[in-house]
Each structure stands twice: as structure tokens, then as C-alpha cells.
């Protein structure tokens, strides 16, 4: 519970930020839809993603981006980048953390609970069934080949979303973000620097940059 409270405190400034209008797949504004309708759609979307996602939490987060940003337009890409960063840096499974921050962003506490339930339900059921027949699954050649094929697909999905989100940073023209993205990649991939240390360092740099920017803005207004 302490971890969830920390996540909610962290995302509050992002949640308060006004985003663009929510629309459905046809581009129609759905911002005024009832909370029940939104929760049902959120539950079904997250349940589907969780049930048919293989390869770990990073995959479901990338598919959340495709579903909620590209298809439903419920969250813009900049907000999704922020939410993914929070999900990755918070303690716990990244798939559940991603469901927490996205669900809370869209529908508050109710959205949080619905998203988490929809995320954990499919693996809970599937793993419970597999555990009953573990020996048969472990020695089945067809299952092994299917999992090997899924790994290739998972790699392609992650690479696609990394390109989409990385190109968004480049197109923003933010030179510090571009340099930071490149430096973090080199440190993690080539030098094997712990990803948590990199996330904390990037977070501190972001805080310092924001504070300096606010002070400059106040100084400009005063003059």
C-alpha cells in the first residue's frame, strides 16, 4: 500500500495537467461519457492487452501506448512518456504500475482499481491452469517453439514503440532530452549501469531543470 501511495503522490502533478480531449477510434469526442462507460471500456481494453501480451511488463506498457495514445487518443504522447517513466521507477511490477498510473490518469481511484484488476486477472488465471499441468507444458516441443516465436514478436513490438517514443523526443527539439536519451542508452547498454540509478539521475536533472526554469521565469516577470 505504501508503494501505491508513493505512486499516486508522484503522478498527481501530471494528473492535474490538462490534456487534449478524449476521443474514440472514429475521432468522436468522448470526454463527456459517463464514468461507468469509461470504466467498462478501460477494463475491457486493459483485460485484452493483459490476456494477449507475452514477454513481460515492458510489452504491455508499449501496447498501452498504442491503445490509449494512438487508437483511443485518451492520453497524449508526452503524458504517456511521463507515465511510463513513473511506472518504471516505482517499486513493483511495471505492468501493474503502468495500469495504476494510466487508470488513475483516466478515471481516478476507480480507474486505478479497474485497470489493476484487468491487468492481474488474465495471468492469474492462466498461470493457475498451467501450474496444474506444468510437467506436460515444460516438456512439450510445440509449446517451446510457440514461445520462441513469441519472443521474436515481442522484440519487434518493443523496438517499434521505442522508435515511436524516441522520435517524439527528437521531434520536440529539446536538445537536453535528446542528449540525455543518448547518454542513458550508452551507459545502460554498453557500460551496464544500473537502470534505477539512471532513472533517479534523470529525475533529479528534470527537477533541477524545472526549478531553474521557474526561477528564470520569475526573474523575467520581476524585471
d(CA 180, CA 173): 13
Using alpha carbons, list the distances in angstroms from residue 43 to 8, 115, 196: 20, 6, 30
Query: Stretch 19-27: mean pLDDT, rounded?
Result: 47
CB neighbours of residue 73 within 10 Å = 18
d(CA 74, CA 21): 7
Question: Could you read off the pLDDT of 57-74 as tens digits, one per residue?
Answer: 677 777 888 888 888 888
pLDDT of res. 20? 45
Would the pLDDT of 216 be above 50? yes
Best-predicted range by mean pLDDT (64-73, 137-146, 208-217): 64-73
pTM of the model: 0.60
Confidence grade of residue 56 (pLDDT, cut at 50, 70, 90): low
- Which residues sit opposite 29 in a β-bridge? 23
pLDDT of res. 26? 47
Which residues are CB-contacts of 38 (< 8 A; sequence separation ≥ 6)?
A: 30, 106, 107, 111
d(CA 52, CA 171): 32
Query: Stretch 185-194: mean pLDDT, rounded?
Result: 94
Query: Stretch 79-94: mean pLDDT, rounded?
Result: 78
pLDDT of res. 223? 56
User: What average pLDDT is seen over the chain?
Assistant: 78
Question: Could you read off the pLDDT of 92-140 as tens digits, one per residue?
Answer: 778 888 888 888 888 889 999 999 999 999 989 988 888 887 777 777 8
pLDDT of res. 34? 52
Dmax (CA) for the chain in angstroms is 75
Which of 11-20, 56-65, 153-162 comes out lowest in average pLDDT? Answer: 11-20
Amino acid at each position: 500500500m505504501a508503494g501505491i501511495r508513493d505512486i499516486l503522490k508522484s503522478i498527481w502533478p501530471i494528473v492535474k495537467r490538462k490534456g487534449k480531449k478524449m476521443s474514440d477510434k472514429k475521432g468522436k469526442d468522448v470526454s463527456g461519457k459517463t464514468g461507468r462507460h469509461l470504466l467498462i471500456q478501460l477494463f475491457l481494453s486493459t483485460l485484452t492487452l493483459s490476456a494477449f501480451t507475452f514477454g513481460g511488463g515492458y510489452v504491455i506498457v508499449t501496447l498501452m501506448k498504442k491503445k490509449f495514445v494512438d487508437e483511443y487518443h485518451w492520453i497524449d504522447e508526452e503524458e504517456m512518456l511521463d507515465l511510463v517513466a513513473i511506472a518504471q521507477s516505482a517499486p513493483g511490477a511495471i505492468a501493474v504500475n503502468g495500469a495504476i498510473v494510466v487508470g488513475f490518469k483516466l478515471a481516478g481511484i476507480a480507474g486505478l482499481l479497474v485497470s489493476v484488476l484487468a491487468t492481474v486477472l488474465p495471468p492469474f488465471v492462466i498461470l493457475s491452469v498451467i501450474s496444474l499441468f506444468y510437467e506436460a507444458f515444460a516438456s512439450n516441443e510445440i509449446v517451446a517453439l510457440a514461445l520462441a516465436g513469441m519472443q521474436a514478436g515481442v522484440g519487434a513490438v518493443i523496438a517499434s514503440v521505442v522508435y515511436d517514443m524516441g522520435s517524439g523526443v527528437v521531434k520536440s527539439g529539446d536538445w537536453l532530452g535528446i542528449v540525455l536519451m543518448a547518454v542513458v542508452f550508452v551507459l545502460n547498454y554498453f557500460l551496464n549501469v544500473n537502470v534505477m540509478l539512471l532513472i533517479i539521475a534523470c529525475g533529479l536533472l528534470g527537477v533541477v531543470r524545472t526549478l531553474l526554469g521557474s526561477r528564470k521565469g520569475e526573474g523575467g516577470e520581476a524585471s
